[in-house]
Copies of this chain bind each other. A is one copy, B any other.
Amino acid sequence: MGDALPSWNDGATKSAILDFVARTTREGGADFIAPAERIAVFDNDGTLWCEFPLQVQVFFALAEVKRLTQQDPSLLQKPAFKAMIDGDVKTLMSLPKQQVFEPAFATHAGMTVEEFHANAWRWLRQAEHPKLRRPFMHNTFVPQHELLEHLRANGFKTYIVTGGGVEFVRVVAQQLYGIPPEQVVGSSTKMKLEEADGGIVLRKLPELGSFDDREEKVVNIALHIGRRPVFAFGNSDGDLAMIRYTLGGDGPRMAWLLHHDDATREFAYDRDFKLSALREGLDRAGELGIGVVSMQRDWNRVFPEGNDDPTGGIA
């Protein structure tokens, strides 16, 4: 059998992952986990694709928010809306995450779910990261493609649990990560039903339903999945509750935080990145039994660069 994780450097991290998958799937072994219980949860922004200097969905909101503030100029009194109109990335990076995501969720309002999908896809398929100078969809992490695929090949069900909008992430989750819509849990707006041509459509409302960050990630895992995961992967303090919930069950468990310490190939940030700070996670990883993955040390490849297939060939 070949190397299941070729983009991961040999070392303690890679060995620990391969060993966990091997022993939890060895029938009759002490650490065997029944296939139905092999639930693996992954954060998205900063864990499966690049989130710096702003999350992809915030860039999407930047492109959309003009339309909104023209309809309702009073929105300009909100700092995140004003900063978006001004293209003021520095201010955006200094605001609390929920404030910055608010315009992103507001850009959904008034559209049917189908319209939103089409609109988000129209943007996603061509929009480029301003610094990396390539489509956002090419900024996924190849080592994570390999890990997702290795888990699935061993009977794990892989979920995304994201602070991003669930509808936004569903537009690309299958294509980018091989994860179907029903395995994406995320932030959501309220919706209402409307009669249309004798049929029924769902229209998104400007009101936030759930901001799927921190404790709310655990509540939504319980609501949507109904099982405690056995494997979790995140990259910020917003993922700590989900990781601790994962590690808190009986039997073998594993959880990781990705440390963005690679200014050459991606970006180096942690404690001071307000939109997705990694602070408590670094301080308490050892105590809580969380592994820290160093992008610089553990990954020999980051992006699927020079590859026309943004999934890195995973399909």
Contact = CB atoms under 8 A, between A and B. Distances in A.
A191 B227 CA distance: 15
B193 A215 contact: yes
B224 A224 contact: yes
B245 A200 contact: yes
B180 A36 contact: yes
A31 B190 CA distance: 33
- The quantity of this chain's copies bound in the complex is 2
Contacts of A36: 174, 180
Q: Interface residue tally of chain A, by bracket?
A: 35 or more
B193 A226 contact: no
A129 interface: no
Interface stretch (A1-9, A134-142, A181-189): A181-189
Nearest to A225: B182
B166 A199 contact: no
B245 A218 contact: no
Interface of A: 36, 39, 113, 157, 166-167, 170, 174, 180-182, 184, 188, 190-193, 199-202, 209, 215, 218-219, 222-227, 241, 244-245, 247-248
11 contacts: A36-B180, A170-B226, A181-B226, A182-B225, A182-B226, A188-B223, A190-B219, A199-B247, A200-B241, A200-B248, A202-B218
